[in-house]
């Protein structure tokens, strides 16, 4: 993912003719370092051992999904005082729409593991079907919104800003939804530091985009 941001920045300059200033480079660098720190934290949900079909967990995941989607809708509907602010707002909204698909994918993977192990197909079929529906809708919404963000913002700024919810929301889900134990004493500090850098980098990029003249 970090390499993808570097490729994006180079492509934006060479193909789209976008100009990267010092603040843009610094913002992208902060986002990349933040993503690396979150990766080093190794905060992840062990799908094999997690009791994903537990009603309480499914309820928390559903509420979390509704909150994420509602926040995305609010950002999408929020009137931007500056024309350039629409790109960052839509990028964050797209990330908020995308994120639930990754969380609900755990439900589908858990059902597949159960079926491949010889379990009855009827067990978990309804929940897996609902999860696939949520994944399809959230992915479609995220794709539509990010395309709109590209129309009013520079790709070299929009995509790193989109990474804010895609990197931070899973950390919140790890703590609030799955309530998994941290793999080490350094996991949470690394994740918090990474989140802070991503927010700082996104803030620089959003500020640049908000003051830029976009189509």
| pLDDT tier for residue 130 given thresholds of 50, 70 and 90 | very high
Which is more confident, 189 or 11?
A: 189
89: closest CA among 166, 21, 152, 26? 152
If you average pLDDT over each of 36-50, 131-145, 173-187, 200-214, which comes out highest?
A: 131-145
Question: Could you tell me the residue range of the domain that residue 12 belongs to?
Answer: 2-211
| Region of poorest pLDDT, from 80-89, 108-117, 195-204 | 80-89
Q: Could you tell me how many residues make up the chain?
A: 215
Mean pLDDT of the 80-94 span:
77
Mean pLDDT of the 23-44 span:
86
Q: Which helix (H) or strand (E) holds 4?
A: helix 2-14
97: closest CA among 60, 63, 129, 69? 69
Q: Which helix (H) or strand (E) holds 98?
A: helix 86-116
Q: How many domains does the chain have?
A: 1
Q: What is the pTM of this model?
A: 0.79
């Amino acid at each position: 993912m970090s390499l993808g941001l570097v490729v994006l920045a180079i492509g934006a300059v060479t193909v789209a003719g976008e100009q990267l200033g010092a603040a843009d480079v610094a913002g992208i660098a902060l986002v990349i370092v933040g993503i690396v720190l979150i990766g080093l934290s190794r905060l992840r949900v062990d799908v094999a051992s997690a009791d994903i079909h537990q009603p309480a967990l499914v309820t928390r995941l559903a509420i979390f999904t509704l909150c994420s989607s509602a926040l995305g809708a609010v950002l999408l509907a929020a009137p931007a005082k500056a024309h350039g602010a629409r790109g960052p707002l839509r990028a964050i909204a797209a990330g908020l729409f995308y994120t639930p698909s990754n969380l609900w994918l755990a439900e589908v993977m858990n059902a597949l593991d159960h079926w491949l192990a010889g379990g009855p197909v009827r067990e978990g079929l309804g929940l897996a079907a609902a999860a696939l529906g949520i994944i399809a809708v959230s992915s479609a919404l995220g794709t539509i919104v990010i395309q709109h963000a590209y129309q009013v913002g520079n790709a070299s700024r929009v995509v790193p800003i989109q990474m804010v919810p895609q990197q931070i929301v899973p950390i919140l889900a790890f703590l609030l939804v799955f309530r998994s134990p941290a793999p080490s004493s350094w996991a949470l500090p690394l994740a918090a530091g990474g989140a802070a850098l991503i927010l700082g980098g996104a803030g620089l990029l959003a500020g640049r985009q908000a003051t830029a003249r976009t189509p």
